Amino acid sequence: MPSTLFKGYALIDCNNFFVSCERVFKPHLNRVPVAVLSNNDGCFIARSKEVRALGIPMGAPLFKYKHLVERHSIVTFSSNFKLYGDFSDRVMRIIGDFSPDLEIYSIDEAFVPITIQTEEDLIALRKKIYKWTSIPVSIGLAPTKTLAKLANYLAKKEERGIYSLMNPKDHNAALEQVPIQEVWGIGRGFTQKLTLHNIKTAYNFKNASEDWIKKKMGLSGLRTHLEIKGINCSAPEIKDSKRKSLIYSKSFGSPIIKLAQLKEAVAHYSSKAAEKIRRKGYKARLFSLYLKLKDESLYESAHLNHASNSSLVYIETALHLLKKLYKEGKYLKAGIYLYDLVPSKESQLSLFEQEDPRHLKLMSTLDEVNCKYGQNTLFFASEGLSRPWAYRRNNLSAEYTTKWKDFPIFKI
């Protein structure tokens, strides 16, 4: 893309994304307070504007605000990441059709370089996304990514959902409206430090001394400072197509004390890690097991004889590592860490070890059945049946767009 055409960035951000996904098939909740909870239904990870207005902060534990949930009839959902991931793919594909140079920043955000597009083009894109997915988005336009983030923050307050900071004359008035904690790259620690020096807004930050910013916040802080001044410091992102690692880690729904239940949980997590890495199209050479007790963490690794994504290999390896790690105690969490990944089609076998071809056929059948008939239709006996340790998802919505049995039925 010729630099002479580059004008800036548009940040396209889905509004209250997890909540919006839950509302797509439940439109009666559109003006009702809705929240989405983290794994084990522990903390608030998404809040509708009605919930935010009640003063419930992001990341707050549910038990501390149970009284508000009951008093205001807040509808809570367990996190349904399959549903959210599918909606994210749909939104990003629409944006990708608009601009193939999009840079996906998170599950619900993407930067698009602005060249010859006009605001009208982006307004049309916003309408198209809503028409095709029912997900509302806000769009912030600016000459730098940091300013685009701030513009997006202001766009969420605009009825038309778009806010432009392309004109430098508009910057100061806009930056005065943005609290310092809303500036991209400024976390809680820097917010406290800056507030002590009476830097409470993005405008105050812009007018602070560059030398002082560099001394107190380092080069990353200086870069943020320059970007707020309209100086583009974002180098083009070079995407590395080779993934370096993969993690499958979750807290238990209730602490595990018995070894038999811990074996089941470790086997289940190993199988899920294998499913995940097969979907990504990789195999791993290095396998690690992580266990979290009440007062300490345990960690052990093993090099596999050959790169593998077989659930059988992972379960066998995990149970072997568990023997080495186990001690009596109260286990709260487990994780499978996979390293030294290679693409499945490029993996090299060892000179003396050959991958069992029966594993490939079995894994393919396993994935096909579970994809067609639902997760855990087929699983390994070592994963257990009752699974009292499974994390809590008491308010899980249906997987409307990824599972046939959950496909919504409309009566006309």
Q: What is the pLDDT of residue 243?
A: 63
pLDDT in tens, 18-77: 999 999 999 999 999 999 998 788 899 999 999 999 999 999 999 999 999 999 999 999
pLDDT in tens, 346-398: 655 554 555 677 788 888 898 888 877 777 788 999 998 888 888 777 788 88
**3-state SS, one letter per residue, for the chain:** CCHHHCCEEEEEEECCHHHHHHHHCCHHHCCCCEEEECHHHCEEEEECHHHHCCCCCCCCEHHHHHHHHHHCCCEEEECCHHHHHHHHHHHHHHHHHHCCCCEEEECCEEEEEECCCCHHHHHHHHHHHHHHHCCCEEEEEECCHHHHHHHHHHHCCCCCCEEECCCHHHHHHHHCCCEHHHCCCCCHHHHHHHHHCCCCEHHHHHCCCHHHHHHHHHHHHHHHHHHHCCCCCCCCCCCCCCCCEEEEEEEEEEEECCHHHHHHHHHHHHHHHHHHHHHHCEEEEEEEEEEEECCCEEEEEEEEEEEECCHHHHHHHHHHHHHHHCCCCCEEEEEEEEEEEEEHHHCCCCCCCCCCHHHHHHHHHHHHHHHHHCCCCCCCHHHCCCCCCCCCCCCECCCCCCCHHHCCCCCC
Segment 332-359 shows an average pLDDT of 76
pLDDT in tens, 240-253: 556 678 889 888 88
pLDDT in tens, 69-103: 999 999 999 999 889 999 999 999 999 998 888 88
pLDDT in tens, 274-309: 999 998 899 999 999 999 998 899 999 999 988 999
Q: What is the pLDDT of residue 3?
A: 46
Complete domains list, the chain, with CATH: 3-164 (3.30.70.270), 168-228 (1.10.150.20), 245-383 (3.30.1490.100)
* pLDDT confidence bin for 1, thresholds 50/70/90: very low
Q: What is the pLDDT of residue 386?
A: 83
